[in-house]
Structure 1
Amino acid sequence: MMHSSRLTRRSVIKAGLGMALATTALTTLGLPMPAKAAGKKVIIGAFADGGLTPFKEKIIPLAKEQGFDIQFLEDEYGVTLEKWFADAQSGAGQYDLYLLDDPWVPQFGAANVLEDLGAGGIDGSDKDWIGPMIDMGYWPPQKGPRVKGFENAKPTLICVPFVGDLQTLTYRNDVFTGGAPKTWDEVIAKGKEGVAAGKIKYPVVFRGVSGNPIVTSWYPVFLSFGGSFFDDKWNPIFNSAEGKASADFFVGTMKQNAPSGVVEFDSDQEGAAILGGEAGAIIQYSGNALKADDPAQTKVAGKLDFGVVPKQEKAIAQMGIFIAGVPKSAPNKANSIEFLKWYVSAETQAKLSEAGSIPVKRSAFGVAKPGNRLIPIALQQLDAGALPRPRTPDWAKVEELLGIELNKALQAGSGGGAALDTAAKQVKDYLTTVGYY
């Protein structure tokens, strides 16, 4: 879920991406003709991701018992955004429900192609929601800065959280014998002790590849140091004193205590380091974290535990979820909204938790037998702090610019603060060109 689209706010809302272009895109992408409504049919579009396995294996059969005919259509992540956006813009009606990556919500929201689910009877004010998750379903956002053109618009619930996910800490319990390390200093200090004792080779591992990977790994460090990305006018402030301190720590101290090739590490490489027994700690999303309990995928089964991310001033993780929206062109719109009401109910969310997915309703975290031991830790992290990426259609470009500069500093092993200054100027220039100020 942690990839990013290059579709920007400008390309979403400008007239050129209207009906004609979207229809052409449908033809180019080879989409089928629209399906006709039939009974309680619900056509779900999803990108292939292991995080949806419990839904497919456990929840779809329960939906069938409720009379829903679920057609689950999967595609590779890299094509789904463009395909679904073309479907929504053209009104072709290929899908009843999109399972979006949450940073895409502003893009669909700005284009006004999704149904008002609140008007359909889904209560966004239900106190059982995980607050930061339901907040991501509103466009424009209920709080924080808004992009131009939506300053005075009433927030509308156009998506609902579908499967929760967020970063947590995975650590070696034979290195951090007192439980999960509470601070970054503890990660490094006790990690070094583990290296000296011959238990691990590196205190920490992370992703260093330019763009989304390095920004995702740096994000919880940045938040823990007290950083913020933008002020209420979309001016970049990630190069504050707190932000610079986090970047210097990341490209300096953390690099010095990570594998030598970390500059080129992505998910596979960082996963191999922790699962192979070489690294002492890692911050990662649940899909990778749960491999820690699979003896077929790790050499150190039984030695990996989960905890809240370390703190400097705070212990805040990045949150990224599957989130569902119903296109205005959905052929089975009423069925889709009825399905979502059933799916996000406390009862069904409890079944999702038992199946092993992080739920989106607080009550579902309290089931007697959650499907994996990460679920109660996820709730601890949510209560400690978890934030989504900034709610702008241009996040992908911001992340790209920032990731390039962070990667350069990581290669040098220093200059994290200066990298943020450079990136802040580039981001400000870019946002200026697309009309933010």
Structure 2
Amino acid sequence: MVRKLFLTLAAAASALAISGAAWADITVLVPSGSEGDGLRAAAADYAKLKGTKVETVQAPYANVFEQGANAGATKSGVFDIVLMDDPWIPFFAENGHLEDLTPYFKKAGLEGPDNDFLSKSLAICRNPYNSGPYVCLPYVGNAQMFFYDAAKYKEAGVEAPKTWDDVLKASKALTEGGGGRY
């Protein structure tokens, strides 16, 4: 966990470093509220672990993009790390606001991120998408999952869905079979 935390913060700082700020003073821009809570806690742990000062700047979600984009466009160096939403990454990457992480992985003796990240979460972290070098790392991966009650499916004689069309078909069959509304 410590290695991952260090690698994530180190890589994110360099990837999202909109400046070359020294490691002794890291400034992190995070959304206010629950979205930034985890990163604020991780930053505090990192600061204790490394004996460095980490400042977290909080802003409403809608303002984080604007502040990060302005800092990137002006190369102001005001933020070292920006907690950004997945859809923002192409904008930041294509406008040259994110740094190639390859040298940081090599320095750490790694080929790239740990293999326990979801592949789709890592794909967006590459510029160009899924083929170029890593320019950021996932902090929270958006994994979509589908849960169902296997017993209800078996009882109704319905196969477990493999596609969204199957979900609709199974839901109709379960509803029509009197098993409730699905």
* Matched residue, 2:138: 161
- Please report how far the alpha carbon of residue 128 of structure 1 lies from its aligned counterpart in structure 2 after TM superposition: 4.2
User: Identity of counterpart residues, as a percentage?
Assistant: 20
Q: Which of 45, 49, 53 is the equivalent residue of 1:66? A: 49
Whole-Å separation in 1 of the counterparts to 2:172 and 2:96: 47
- How many residues align? The count is 147
* Unaligned runs of at least 5 residues, structure 2: 1-18, 154-158, 162-166
Q: What secondary structure does 1:139 align onto?
A: coil
Whole-Å separation in 1 of the counterparts to 2:172 and 2:33: 32
Whole-Å separation in 1 of the counterparts to 2:76 and 2:85: 21
The residue type equivalent to 1:43 in the other structure is: T
The residue type equivalent to 2:34 in the other structure is: G
The equivalences for 1:117-266 within 5 A come to 117-121=101-105, 123-124=111-112, 126-143=114-131, 155-169=132-146, 176=149, 178=151, 182-183=160-161, 184=167, 185-191=169-175, 193-195=178-180, 202-203=181-182
Describe the shift of the 1:179–1:194 C-alpha distance in structure 2 as closer, same or farther (beyond 3 A).
closer
The residue type equivalent to 1:189 in the other structure is: A
Cα RMSD over matched residues? Answer: 3.1
TM-score using structure 2 length: 0.64
Task: Indicate if the aligned counterparts of 2:30 and 2:39 stay in contact, CA closer than 8 A.
Answer: no
Q: Which has the higher contact order (CA 8 A, sep 6+)?
A: 1
* Matched residue, 2:86: 102
- Please report how far the alpha carbon of residue 119 of structure 1 lies from its aligned counterpart in structure 2 after TM superposition: 2.0
Describe the shift of the 1:190–1:49 C-alpha distance in structure 2 as closer, same or farther (beyond 3 A).
farther
Task: Indicate if the aligned counterparts of 2:101 and 2:136 stay in contact, CA closer than 8 A.
Answer: yes
Whole-Å separation in 1 of the counterparts to 2:179 and 2:33: 34
- Please report how far the alpha carbon of residue 62 of structure 1 lies from its aligned counterpart in structure 2 after TM superposition: 2.5
The equivalences for 1:270-289 within 5 A come to none
* Matched residue, 1:314: none
Whole-Å separation in 1 of the counterparts to 2:20 and 2:135: 23
Q: What secondary structure does 1:138 align onto?
A: coil
Whole-Å separation in 1 of the counterparts to 2:55 and 2:77: 14
Q: Which of 54, 62, 72 is the equivalent residue of 1:88? A: 72
Task: Indicate if the aligned counterparts of 1:118 and 1:157 stay in contact, CA closer than 8 A.
Answer: yes
Whole-Å separation in 1 of the counterparts to 2:48 and 2:124: 30
- Please report how far the alpha carbon of residue 160 of structure 1 lies from its aligned counterpart in structure 2 after TM superposition: 1.1
Whole-Å separation in 2 of the counterparts to 1:45 and 1:125: 22
Q: Which of 47, 64, 70 is the equivalent residue of 2:31? A: 47
Q: Which of 60, 82, 97 is the equivalent residue of 1:76? A: 60
- Please report how far the alpha carbon of residue 90 of structure 1 lies from its aligned counterpart in structure 2 after TM superposition: 0.5
Q: What secondary structure does 1:43 align onto?
A: strand
- Please report how far the alpha carbon of residue 49 of structure 1 lies from its aligned counterpart in structure 2 after TM superposition: 5.3
Describe the shift of the 1:80–1:179 C-alpha distance in structure 2 as closer, same or farther (beyond 3 A).
farther
* Unaligned runs of at least 5 residues, structure 1: 1-34, 144-154, 196-201, 204-437
| 1:337-360, Cα deviation, whole Å (9 max, x unpaired) | xxxxxxxxxxxxxxxxxxxxxxxx
